[in-house]
Amino acid sequence: MLRKSALFAATAALVLAFTGCSSTTSSSSTEDSAVSEKAEKALEAAAGQVFSTGPNGEEPSPASVADLSDEEIAQVKALGATAAIVMHYGGNDWATAQIDGLTSEFEKLGIEVIATTDANFKPDKQVSDLETVLAQNPDIIVSIPTDPVATASVYKAAAASGAKLVFMDNVPQGLEAGTDYVSVVSADNYGNGVVSAHELAKALGGKGTIGAIYHQADFFVTAQRYEGFTDTITKEYPDIEIVEEKGIAGPDFAGDAQAAANAMLSKHPDLAGIWAVWDVPAEGVMAAARASGRTDLKIATEDLGKNVAIALAKDELIVGLGAQVPFDQGITEARLGAGALIGKVAPPYIALSALPVDHENVLEAWEKVYHQDPPKDLKDSYKE
């Protein structure tokens, strides 16, 4: 009888424990769902908005301000103008799309591209590139400064030469809009940080410890992304804690990010997620996660590069990102330069809104970002 009573008591205890566990699990699941829903609504609300201000605090203007009428296009074509594209670094999907957008629009406008350079993120190389370009007397220079201080004097010389300067993302120190340069065109980089924060929070159910890998340089737009991400996590998701932050300076951004992520995962074995400042560093984080056997790690980033797009399509590691639209930015930059040749005045800062991308819309997003069908290996990777 005692043994039966003991068995009954033990069974009752197990039932109570199981019931309590189920209740806790149900409550936790409900909380996770509520947080994910909150993040989803925030992403929907962010669509089409611009959160950033310009390098000097300028309010953003839409890309439509660069539009040209048929009559204006005819005026531009009659000039037989030339242009040069001076990049900070190339060989990545973002830079390629910018250049594609620029060259395609310049061709439509009858403007010949006489030089395209790649500084490999080295200010001294970019200074040399600009000096070489200036010797060819281009009418338009479209460029993204590697360092706003170290390159300032050569951009001043470019402005003094009479070339119409249009900047991507950042402006060299001491140059004035409307006097030294036409305008600066950028993605909404703060907004991209905001979007990536909501994407990561949604994947984490609004809780857990995370790391952040930022760009350790005086580079306005990547600093904006980092600020947008950390502000959003801190203010909107109190149960997500950023326990480690590491900067990378490149030029081996993937390798540097892999080393940083390895260190984070070693120091914090329970780390739930990592944010990376753009897609190339995110590739390094993916490599670190795979090497550590952490295929459950949640990674968020910016820029829809092909490798992170494939990871999104497979629903592996990358959970979401904020995408720029670099092809459209290139079109806008080309139009601004052309307009300046015929005396049009542009606002000092133009920004294009962030595009939230996750597993569900990655193929559609590719078409919006690059103006082309997704490559076969991306489409073949998509997991229904």
What's the pLDDT score for residue 37?
Answer: 86
Looking at residue 28, what is its pLDDT? Answer: 56
CATH topology for the 189-323+356-381 domain: Rossmann fold (3.40.50)
Residue-wise pLDDT for 133-192, tens only, equals: 999 999 999 999 999 999 999 999 999 999 999 999 889 999 999 999 999 999 999 999
63-188+327-353 shares its CATH topology with 189-323+356-381: yes
21-35, 295-309, 332-346: least confidently modelled range: 21-35
Identify which has the larger pLDDT, 6 or 193: 193
CB atoms within 10 A of CB 72: 18
pLDDT tens, position by position, 226-260:
999 999 999 999 999 999 999 999 889 999 999 99
pTM over the 0.75 mark: yes
Please give the backbone phi and psi of residue 323, each rounded to the nearest 5 degrees, phi first: -100, 140
Query: Which residue shows structure tokens 């399509």?
Result: 313
Following DSSP, what letter does each residue of 185-217 receive, concatenated? Answer: EEE-HHHHHHHHHHHHHHHHTT-EEEEEEEE-S
All structural domains of the chain with their residue ranges: 63-188+327-353, 189-323+356-381
Q: Is the pLDDT of residue 14 over 70?
A: no
Query: Can you tell me the distance from the alpha carbon of 375 to that of 11, in angstroms, rounded to the nearest whole number?
Result: 58
CATH homologous superfamily of 63-188+327-353: Response regulator (3.40.50.2300)
Q: What is the pLDDT of residue 3?
A: 34
Percentage of the chain modeled with pLDDT above 90: 82
* Residue 104 pLDDT > 60: yes
Average pLDDT, the chain: 91
What is the pLDDT confidence band of residue 39, given thresholds at 50, 70 and 90? confident
